[in-house]
């Protein structure tokens, strides 16, 4: 088994009601598996909002690109501080941060 | 270079003194102060802003931005402080200072600094108004 930590920020943290949590997953689990299956399974009440916040959806279904990879909606996924695509295979001890579109600075503009 | 993400910003005059001391080649220091506006873009009365950050990545990103600005504009030094947590109307939330030999590269680099801060650094802002709340995304 592989143990990973997932960190949430902004609207996603608010949606799930948690800042970070751990997941135990089997070998060869990808980021896409984590985001599309493991996290929604643990947060069933928020599963639909989660998928619609994170992914491009068409009539409620997550859209995929020509390679069959789900299409993220303006979010960045960092693993150990580096951007990874959804085919990345999780490694034991990974810290995964799911970043909504940023919005720092003042509200001056 | 000084980068700080904190619930409490340092005194601006202390930051100015500090950056002045970093080199005797400095002839210009441009300062940006971001503060909480009392009326939202929708015209609603703002009660407060709430900020959160992915701090270790935010600091690293800001380090990279400052390094880029030094390469591109030849600035001498820069300081950035950004608030996290709750901020009331009128409260300062960002201090950015750029020190350079001449004002031109100082102004140009500071504009780029703030634009990149808003679009690249993992800091999120929630605006709470008298009519509700929403996350503000600079996209």
pLDDT digits (tens, 9 = 90+) for A40-86: 999 999 999 999 999 999 988 999 999 999 999 989 999 999 999 99
The model's pTM is: 0.92
CATH of domain A2-99: 3.10.20.30
Confidence of residue B122 (pLDDT cuts 50, 70, 90): very high
Going A53 to A58 to A61 to A64, the CA torsion angle's sign is negative
Report the alpha-carbon distance of residue B112 to residue B56 in Å, rounded. Answer: 22
Domain boundaries, chain A: 2-99
Looking at domain B2-136, what is its CATH homologous superfamily? Answer: Molybdopterin biosynthesis MoaE subunit (3.90.1170.40)
Which residue of B84, B124, B135, B137 is the best one to mutate when testing the A interface, meaning the one whose CB has the most A CBs within 10 A?
A: B124
Query: Which one has a higher pLDDT value, B139 or B61?
Result: B61
Q: What is the pLDDT of residue A103?
A: 77
Each residue of A6-42: pLDDT tens digit?
Answer: 999 999 999 999 999 999 999 999 999 999 999 999 9
Residues of chain A found within 8 Å of residue B119, distances taken between Cβ atoms: 102
Chain A: residue whose CA lies nearest to B56: A81
Confidence of residue B137 (pLDDT cuts 50, 70, 90): confident
ipTM: 0.88
Q: Does B40 touch chain A (CB under 8 A)?
A: yes
Q: What is the pLDDT of residue A42?
A: 98
Q: What is the pLDDT of residue B30?
A: 98
Confidence of residue B138 (pLDDT cuts 50, 70, 90): confident
Smallest Cα distance from B78 to chain A, Å = 16
Instruction: Name the B residues in 106-125 with CB < 8 Å from any A CB.
Output: 114, 117-125
Please indicate whether, in this complex, the C-beta atoms of A103 and B94 are within 8 angstroms of each other. Answer: no
Q: What is the pLDDT of residue A55?
A: 95
Q: Is the Cβ–Cβ distance between A74 and A53 less than 8 Å?
A: no
Residue A6, H or E segment? strand A2-8
Q: Does B82 touch chain A (CB under 8 A)?
A: yes
Q: What is the pLDDT of residue B127?
A: 96
Confidence of residue B139 (pLDDT cuts 50, 70, 90): low
Each residue of B42-96: pLDDT tens digit?
Answer: 999 999 999 999 999 999 999 999 999 999 999 999 999 999 999 999 999 999 9
User: Is the confidence at residue B131, as pLDDT, over 90?
Assistant: yes
Q: Does B83 touch chain A (CB under 8 A)?
A: no
Going A43 to A49 to A55 to A60, the CA torsion angle's sign is positive
């Amino acid at each position: 088994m592989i143990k990973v930590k997932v960190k949430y920020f902004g609207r996603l943290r608010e949606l799930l009601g948690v800042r970070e949590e751990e997941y135990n997953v089997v070998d060869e689990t990808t980021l896409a598996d984590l985001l599309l299956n493991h996290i929604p399974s643990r947060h069933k009440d928020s599963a639909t909002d989660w998928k619609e916040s994170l992914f491009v959806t068409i009539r409620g279904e997550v859209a995929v690109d020509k390679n069959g990879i789900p299409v993220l909606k303006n979010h960045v996924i960092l693993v150990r501080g580096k951007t990874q695509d959804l085919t990345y295979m999780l490694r034991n001890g990974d810290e995964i941060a799911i970043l909504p579109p940023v919005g720092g600075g003042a509200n001056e503009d | 270079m000084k980068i700080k993400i904190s619930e409490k910003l340092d005194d601006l005059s202390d930051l100015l003194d500090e950056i002045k001391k970093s080199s005797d080649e400095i002839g210009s220091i441009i300062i940006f102060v971001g503060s909480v506006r009392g009326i939202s873009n929708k015209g609603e009365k703002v009660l407060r802003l709430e900020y959160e950050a992915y701090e270790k990545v935010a600091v690293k990103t800001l380090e990279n931005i400052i390094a880029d600005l030094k390469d591109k504009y030849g600035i001498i030094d820069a300081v950035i402080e950004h608030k996290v947590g709750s901020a009331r109307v009128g409260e300062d939330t960002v201090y950015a200072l750029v020190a350079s030999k001449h004002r031109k590269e100082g102004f140009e680099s500071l504009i780029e600094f703030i634009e990149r801060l808003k679009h690249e650094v993992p800091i999120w802002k929630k605006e709470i108004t008298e009519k509700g709340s929403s996350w503000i995304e600079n996209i």
